[in-house]
Structure 1
Amino acid sequence: MAYRETEKMRQRKAMARQKIVDCTYACVSDGGFRSARITRIAALADVATGTIYRHFESREDLFAEVFRLATQREVDKVAEALATEGDVTARLEHALRQFAERAIRGPVMAWSLIAEPVDPKVEEERLKYRRAYAALFEGAIREGIQNQCIPDQDASQSSTCLVGAIAESLVGPLSPAQADGNVSIAAEDKDRLVNSIIRFCMQGLTGARN
């Protein structure tokens, strides 16, 4: 008689898989993908290293899933900001601020998502992540053009420029300052950094000077 996996066994496997993902996420949040060694993840998840490879074909597949999880959380926050009531330019500014402020509050994870050297499978997810942001901004820009509160322009190109500008502006400040991966941004510099990024992005988008 062929073996049939029970529902209880499927649930147990799903829970084990989720714990592996959660522990990997914690490792990346703490020290980037470079610190997420399989032996460390296995120890945190209280499983054998071989168990990880029963759930994921490779380390790269595990990292790609964690990257998708982390980036979706960030994209969702920007989508929420753009979905609020009010003038589209104010919503765009709020969304850009969300992007920058969340990155600064979680600098290690933000660096990992934006600029840390990663495997090709994870890099593919990074490109999807940027496209997801750009698609959200493009929709808002088109709305602004239609409502005549944003000058007529190539909304697709402008949205890509926004993503590139804000991401590249954060690379330096978020870059690990020491070999152990610590990131240091002085408290007094945080507001100035965010305001400078937002001002540049909004002036480029609208042509208005505050």
Structure 2
Amino acid sequence: MTTADRSSPRVQRRRERNRAAMLDAAEAMFAAGRYGSMRIEEVAETADVAVGTVYTHFGSKDGLLLAVAERGIARAAEFLAEAYRDDQDPLERMVATGEAYRELLLEHPSLARFLTMDPPESVEPEIRERIRADIEQLYDAFTAVVQDAVDTGHIRELDARLFARFLIGSWVGVVTLTRPTVGPPLSTDDARAALALSSAVLADGLVVLPDR
């Protein structure tokens, strides 16, 4: 295949489809907690590509893990960006951010694993640190939204960093209940309803009421 052939739109589309299929396969395995037992050959078979194609795209299993994590974090950034509107006050933005996070976790449960679990010790240190740094940016972004609501008096005084982590941890916990390995699984619809209910109760307790 010539250089021109490799750069043709048709070849690029096939590469993008193959890459997405490999990431989807690996993401499902990571979400099931199978990083240690996952084999590149299994990813290739599930994605219907050659084993060499996986190595060409990602270099190693650790490189594949990093790519899955980065795709999940990019999705999170997109969800959060779509949740923001110019006409929102700080409390409305905090609520919208929470709704976006919850929906993201329900649609992409592998991200819930990345948000709460340290990368396996077997992963290369550089890749472990890159994943940790990217996840920390997500936490910090939500902390900033909560802090803005505190600073503007829309919610009561609290530690924004700790509260942001409490909220994300709670959402991840409910999403975890949809897995069959944790007791009778909760349906996605029930999980969505439970998250909405708990968020409404929390919001009622956070709002600063005007003096009467």
Same fold (TM over 0.5): yes
In 2, Cα distance between equivalents of 1:124 and 1:40: 25
Partner of 2:119: 118
In 2, Cα distance between equivalents of 1:201 and 1:118: 33
Alignment of 1:129 with 2:135, yes or no, is: yes
Deviation at 1:138, TM superposition (A): 0.9
Secondary structure of the 2:194 match is helix
Partner of 1:76: 78
Conserved in 1, the CA contact under 8 Å of 2:91 and 2:154? yes
Percent identical among aligned pairs is: 18
Alignment of 1:62 with 2:67, yes or no, is: no
Partner of 2:87: 85
Conserved in 2, the CA contact under 8 Å of 1:141 and 1:150? no
Alignment of 1:32 with 2:35, yes or no, is: no
Query: What is the number of residues matched between the two proteins?
Result: 196
Conserved in 2, the CA contact under 8 Å of 1:130 and 1:163? no
Q: 5+ unaligned residues in a row in structure 1: which ranges?
A: none
Conserved in 2, the CA contact under 8 Å of 1:93 and 1:202? no
Conserved in 2, the CA contact under 8 Å of 1:79 and 1:136? no
Q: Please provide the CA RMSD for this pair.
A: 3.7
- CA pair 21-164 structure 1, distance change in 2 beyond 3 A: farther
Deviation at 1:103, TM superposition (A): 1.8
Alignment of 1:142 with 2:135, yes or no, is: no
Deviates more, 1:5-14 or 1:160-169: 5-14
Partner of 2:180: 177
Partner of 2:202: 200
Conserved in 2, the CA contact under 8 Å of 1:111 and 1:171? yes
Conserved in 1, the CA contact under 8 Å of 2:19 and 2:57? no
Amino acid aligned to 1:58: S
Amino acid aligned to 1:118: P
Deviation at 1:99, TM superposition (A): 1.0
Conserved in 2, the CA contact under 8 Å of 1:31 and 1:108? no
Q: TM-score, normalised by structure 1?
A: 0.70
Conserved in 2, the CA contact under 8 Å of 1:42 and 1:52? yes
Amino acid aligned to 1:184: P
Conserved in 2, the CA contact under 8 Å of 1:89 and 1:149? yes
4+ runs deviating over 6 angstroms: none
Q: Which has the higher contact order (CA 8 A, sep 6+)?
A: 1
Q: 5+ unaligned residues in a row in structure 2: which ranges?
A: none
Conserved in 2, the CA contact under 8 Å of 1:84 and 1:91? no
Amino acid aligned to 1:82: Y
Amino acid aligned to 1:7: A
- CA pair 19-177 structure 1, distance change in 2 beyond 3 A: same
**Of 4, 9, 16, the match for 1:7:** 4
In 2, Cα distance between equivalents of 1:73 and 1:183: 29
Deviation at 1:91, TM superposition (A): 1.8
